[in-house]
Amino acid sequence: MTVNSIYADGYKNLKQVNIDLDPKMNIICGENAQGKTNLIEAVWLCSGCRSFRGTRDKDMICFDGDVSRVSVNFQNSRRMENIEFILKKGAVKEKNITLNGIKNDRLSKLFGEFKCVVFTPEDLNITKGSPDNRRNFLDIAISQIKPSYINALKKYNGILQQRNSLLKSMSTVHGSDTKYLDVWNEQLAEAGAFISVLRYNYCKTLNEQANKLYNLITDSKENLQIYYQSTVYDNLEGETDTKNKLANMYIRKLKDTAENDKKMGYTGSGVHRDDMHAFVNGISLRDFGSQGQSRSAALALKLAHAKILKAEQGEYPVMLLDDVLSELDSTRQKFILNNIDDMQVIITCCDSRPITDLRDGKVFTVENGRVE
């Protein structure tokens, strides 16, 4: 997938941006607070995902303007397509969203049309932060590959809430009936087993790909390994029977921990507590990783995900890299600028020095929301 051109006007501070991109490498350069991340964000929204900065719809319109318009022309293996969205002050609910000119009521409905993978400075949390950051990474990644995963996750979260409310009431009212808990256990187990297997298998493939990429990024000096850590299963290798065998094991776990759950008033085990562990040269990245190692590893995970998308769907996504070069040494910077040559990259940076290492591609300058 490649973006041919981007138009953005009134999206945050962006003003009359109208650029044609290079099919491979695009560098968006500029000082702080000029609009680099805003441009990356505008493109990302076309993938149908929420803003990676949690921006609300009304805040996407320029402070002193009334209309925000973003239009992206992109090419997939079949044809040229267009996604456009227009937001108007005072009427952000009625977004004007079109895919190839045909109206759509929500950006999220476009999920799956335009595929991109984004790396932002916040993604350091995937390696450094708490487990929910890693689960969130896995959830978005697997949803891009398998739409039925989103439904299972929604179902799981809904049932989990119900089970937790019941546990809370049980922790205050002693001797309450446990038959309702059994009902929630069964439903939670079926969705949970399905999610566990998909996450386990995804992490296995991710590990293979990320390991190779991390080796390239670090010039074979360091080795990255990642594992899925389930709170329910000891070993998911080769397991496929989610409906019977794995669901029953999940129920057993929920029953075994029910007493504790009742005391705590919430569900202590399950996919909502699972994690993905990462190690560099055998040492936990979360506990001991340096800034550069964490950033390189998070980047390797994102690039590995792009490779998996290509293997699963036959097409590379567009890679959006926001501020990825800072904190990396020149070996790592050179790798990023010159070796990601199998997909289109849009990358932002403040410091133009690394660009002297660039062999091919276009460089744009952002100043006060205008892109040259």
Ligand X SMILES: Nc1ncnc2c1ncn2[C@@H]1O[C@H](COP(=O)(O)OP(=O)(O)OP(=O)(O)O)[C@@H](O)[C@H]1O
Alpha helices in 314-363 (DSSP H): 330-339
Task: Scan residues 297-326 and list those touching ligand X (CB under 6 A).
Answer: 323
Cβ atoms 262, 150 nearer than 8 A: no
Residue 38 in the binding site for ligand X (CB under 6 A): yes
Residue 66: how many CB atoms within 10 A of its CB? 12
Which is nearer to Mg ion, 37 or 293 (by Cβ)? 37
Identify what 118 binds: ligand X, Mg ion, none; CB under 5 to 8 Å per kind: none
Residue 242 in the binding site for ligand X (CB under 6 A): no
Cβ atoms 124, 133 nearer than 8 A: no
Min dist. Cβ of residue 366 to Mg ion (A): 10
SS3 77: coil
Residue 120 in the binding site for ligand X (CB under 6 A): no
Segment near ligand X (CB under 6 A), from 26-34, 108-116, 151-159, 190-198?
26-34
Residue 33 in the binding site for ligand X (CB under 6 A): yes
- According to CB under 6 A, which one of 12, 69, 128, 305 is a site residue for ligand X? 12
Residue 59 in the binding site for ligand X (CB under 6 A): yes
Residue 13 in the binding site for ligand X (CB under 6 A): yes
Q: Which residues contact 42 (CB under 8 A, 6 or more apart)?
A: 6, 8, 11, 12, 14, 70, 72
Pairing of strands 102-104, 96-99: antiparallel
Residue 235 in the binding site for ligand X (CB under 6 A): no
Residue 230 in the binding site for ligand X (CB under 6 A): no
Residue 35 in the binding site for ligand X (CB under 6 A): yes
Q: Say how far apart CA 146 and CA 167 lie, in whole Å.
A: 32
Q: 3-class secondary structure for 204-260?
A: HHHHHHHHHHHHHHCCCCCCEEEEEECCCCCCCCCCCCHHHHHHHHHHHHHHHCHHH
Task: Scan residues 83-102 and list those touching ligand X (CB under 6 A).
Answer: none
Min dist. Cβ of residue 38 to Mg ion (A): 8
By the criterion CB under 6 A, which residues form the site for ligand X? 12-13, 30, 32-38, 59, 61-63, 323, 350
